[in-house]
Structure 1
Amino acid sequence: MKQKIVHEQILQQKMNKSLIQAINVLQFSSLELIEYIKQLSKDNPLIEEVNFDYEFANYKKNYSDQVSYEEINERKLSMYDQLKEQLYTLKIAKDMKPIVYFGIDSLADTGYLDISLEEWAKRCHTSMEKVEQSLQLIQSLEPAGIGARTLSECILLQLRNNGNDEAYLQDLLENHLELIAEENIAAIAEQYDINEEKAVHLVNMIKGCHPKPGQLMNEPVAEFVIPEASISKEGGEWIIAFYKWSKPTITIDKSYKELNRLGQEAESYLKEKTLQVDWLHHVLSYRSNTVERVIKIIVEKQTLFFEHGYYMLQPLTLQKLANELHVHVSTVSRALRNKYVQTKYGVIPLKFFLQSGIKQQNGKPIAAFVVKKLIHELVEHENKQKPLSDEAIKTKLQDEFGINIARRTVMKYREQLGIPSSMKRKQRR
């Protein structure tokens, strides 16, 4: 019986490692995926051909000069700016705002809090109670894990955000993190009186958490962009056609089967490389299926954009997308990373379709991007001798586009776009 348990545990550990590798491959852009498979094929003689090179070369030849769809010259928002933008959706007492802002500015690039609560309270001349409330507000922002003080707390925040709130989780993460690192399923199950199946599920959930959530908000931009799929309308329906490089097929050299005749060593080598090919098929399938599901939901939620353009973009958050797909937020974030789609408007990053929303004064939600785009255009075409004030922009948005927002929101978005005030924009004749 003991031998069986050990065998199952080793098998489960291998499965867990396979899952982690599959999650890593999910993050790859198409270019990274191509390079990854090419490197594997150099070390695995069973891989005879990877069928995407011709189509990839063709695409580069035809689209290398294509300009990607730009977000109206909007400056890239830092992690700190993105977090502060989310605060506009929360009700925060006026006296709490500067304390919360200070806390956000005190985060490291990784998303961890880089200051003690005592120092925070001292610097803001406030009580520990208000600092703790401010920390809770920051830790409620996306992505989950932001504002953590330790790795254990970071993972715990992500697990709780995903509905896992068992009483023993905190003790496991704070006092027995080594059991997770070792994937010691039997010890975890015994320590907390749970069955091994639940322990395995728990370890998988923990392994799926991002250890540095701030990095999700500061991703590098790809130098050369190739899309995962093209989106076009045919017969009144939106069709998603995936390129071969996003779903590559691998041809196996069958002549290597004859190695079996050369002895046990050759047979062992062949078995190892065959398992690697099987694993590669598995992770490629996981990546393509996940990305395909994400793109399908995006097309469904942003159909008006594909029909009519950026003016019809809808608010859509990472959490909402994760809820639709019934997966963890970190999985969606990885699936979106450096991935693009070809549309009639050009090549667009998938992350572009995740738009923060604001409630208009009439209660209707609207994508913040749409408002920023219109503000940009109104300023672009204004009379330079009589530039539009924030109040005048607010009125034009209401009268010409039916967008009803406050003047302070106009000012906030104008500043985010790097547009000076009307006084500074005024040109003398």
Structure 2
Amino acid sequence: MLSSARLLQRQKQSMVASPQLIESIRLLQLARAELHQFVEQELEKNPLLEPASSDGEALGGVPISAQQSAGAPENHIDAPTSAASPERLGEWKSPPNTTNSSADNRPALDEFTACPETLHGHIASQIALTAFTPQERLIASELAAHLEDTGYLRSDLLEVAGILNACEHDVERVLANLQRFDPPGIFARSLGECLEIQLRQRDRFDPAMAALVANLELVARRDFQALKQHCRVDEDDLLEMLHEIRALDPKPGNRFQSGAPESIIPDVLVTPSPGGGWHIELDPDALPKVLINQTYVAEVARHTVHNSKDQAFLNECLQNANWLIRSLDQRAQTILKVATEVVRQQDAFLRHGVAHLRPLNLRTVAEAINVHESTVSRVTSNKYMLTPRGVFELKYFFTVAIASCEGGDAHSAEAVRHRIKAIIAQESPSDVLSDDDIAVRLKEIGINVARRTVTKYREAMNIPSSVQRRREKRLQLIGDQD
């Protein structure tokens, strides 16, 4: 058979995402800080864009009614059609600010607060007041520069001696002085040394305590039998020693503020509506507002009418500016639509607490608002909602279903974890429940879970086993008696 080359023509459909579409998708999943940073970069690159004034209009809230319609399924919330209508989103307004305008002129209270002392500043002041020789002071300052925020010193003393061209013995002598500084346990090179320093300052570092500190891995495993053999004490003495250890500070530097604390700023605000439902709005500060300076566009267009290169650049800037404004508006609309549906689905949680959190998946929300699951996934990443029950990441409201014993409504995994935590919190030292016992208790309230599921959820919440909890409750009893 002779082989020959043939030219075939085939027709195939494919979808190719444009660079701007890809960028719009990326905008959807950006967190608040990342979005503001992106917009600032666009403002720097595009001369036609300018930030909107603070009194400009922004997307506001959607009141949804909590009245159940006749024949509606349980937990159904009847929402106005405008809540899911993109063309009306721009008409929603945030509630007017009723704060007394005179308060805006008052200085903020944080302007009068003292700057919190840092760990390194606290150590530097003690070095300055210590009778060091010039060389010792130099060594002390170098060791302080290597101090971690937790209060530990992880640097090799031989390397520090080499940097300063000093004797290692001198570095060790200075370190011994620094370890007497406040807070107790500072400049330790390990957890054991940190505890030892604190115990020595309390004059409690006897041979039994030294053996306990030398076997911290047994303490972590709650292996009381091995600890009694190493420390050569009975169980009552061991429990008292463990109570002393627990009273120490394993990270003495953490009591100092090393920097400004990071706070979570919600993207969506949910408040009770006067009509009996929920009022949902986007935080205006979470929405970067940009405008096209039409005056500047007209001015530049008059000067570039005869220059094709400049005209092309102007058209490109104008196209990018329009794209950014549309993308930001679409992003806000999508977040608001997803949040509105989440609130509708989790109305019982908002009213009664985490025990009433319903099972929910991405597909349910996506089908309700007619978007793709991936869109809901991007919207719920790194976005937070402020509710009367606290601030939650939107992903928090999406949990798997746990079957009910009676065949009724399923329970969410988060609600089951909450139940397990509540059952364990009610234990007494004489009645500590095993995972099998907890599973039986859950079945009594209609939650059908296996023992291994209880174990998995308990370990995920960092709750120790029943044996460990029983020992810790005995320790707590000793502490309460003291």
- What interval of TM-score do these two structures reach, taking the shorter chain for normalisation? 0.5 to 0.7
Is the 2:366–2:372 contact (alpha carbons within 8 Å) kept by the matching residues of 1?
Answer: yes
Residue 370 of structure 1 corresponds to which residue in structure 2? Answer: 415
1:52-91 mapped onto 2 (5 Å cutoff): none
SS of aligned partner of 2:34: helix
Could you tell me which of 228, 232, 235 is aligned with 2:271?
232
Q: Which moved more, 1:387-396 or 1:333-342?
A: 387-396
Residue 390 of structure 2 corresponds to which residue in structure 1? Answer: 346
Distance 2:424 2:411 in 1: 20
Is the 1:336–1:350 contact (alpha carbons within 8 Å) kept by the matching residues of 2?
Answer: yes
SS of aligned partner of 1:240: strand
Is the 1:302–1:313 contact (alpha carbons within 8 Å) kept by the matching residues of 2?
Answer: yes
Q: Which moved more, 1:385-394 or 1:344-353?
A: 385-394
SS of aligned partner of 1:239: strand
Pairwise CA distance, 1:351: 0.2
Give the RMSD, CA atoms, in angstroms.
3.1
Distance 1:410 1:330 in 2: 31
Letter in structure 1 aligned against 2:267:
E
Residue 212 of structure 2 corresponds to which residue in structure 1? Answer: none
Letter in structure 2 aligned against 1:250:
V
Residue 28 of structure 1 corresponds to which residue in structure 2? Answer: 30
Could you tell me which of 254, 276, 279 is aligned with 2:294?
254
Q: Which moved more, 1:358-367 or 1:413-422?
A: 413-422
Higher RCO structure (Cα 8 Å, ≥6 apart): 1
Pairwise CA distance, 1:410: 2.5
Letter in structure 1 aligned against 2:283:
Y
Pairwise CA distance, 1:362: 2.1
Residue 19 of structure 1 corresponds to which residue in structure 2? Answer: 21
Q: Do structure 1's residue 294 and structure 2's residue 338 form an aligned pair? A: yes
Distance 1:242 1:345 in 2: 17
Q: Do structure 1's residue 357 and structure 2's residue 438 form an aligned pair? A: no
Is the 1:52–1:244 contact (alpha carbons within 8 Å) kept by the matching residues of 2?
Answer: no
Pairwise CA distance, 1:388: 1.4
Distance 2:389 2:24 in 1: 32
Distance 2:417 2:367 in 1: 27
Could you tell me which of 227, 230, 241 is aligned with 2:281?
241
More helix by share: 1
Moved over 4 A (4+): 51-55
1:37-52 mapped onto 2 (5 Å cutoff): 37-51=39-53
> Are residues 308 and 52 of structure 1, via their aligned partners in 2, closer, same or farther at CA, if it must alter by over 3 Å?
farther
Pairwise CA distance, 1:38: 0.8
Residue 315 of structure 2 corresponds to which residue in structure 1? Answer: 271
Query: Structure 2: any 5+ residue segments left out of the alignment?
Result: 1-12, 59-103, 111-260, 478-482
> Are residues 339 and 394 of structure 1, via their aligned partners in 2, closer, same or farther at CA, if it must alter by over 3 Å?
same
Pairwise CA distance, 1:385: 3.8
Letter in structure 2 aligned against 1:19:
L
SS of aligned partner of 2:385: strand
Letter in structure 2 aligned against 1:268:
A
Distance 1:370 1:35 in 2: 37
Is the 2:406–2:446 contact (alpha carbons within 8 Å) kept by the matching residues of 1?
Answer: no
Pairwise CA distance, 1:389: 2.0
- For residues 181-225 of structure 1, the C-alpha deviation after alignment (integer angstroms, 9 at most, x for no partner) is xxxxxxxxxxxxxxxxxxxxxxxxxxxxxxxxxxxxxxxxx9542
> Are residues 241 and 352 of structure 1, via their aligned partners in 2, closer, same or farther at CA, if it must alter by over 3 Å?
same
Query: Structure 1: any 5+ residue segments left out of the alignment?
Result: 1-8, 64-221
Distance 2:109 2:345 in 1: 30
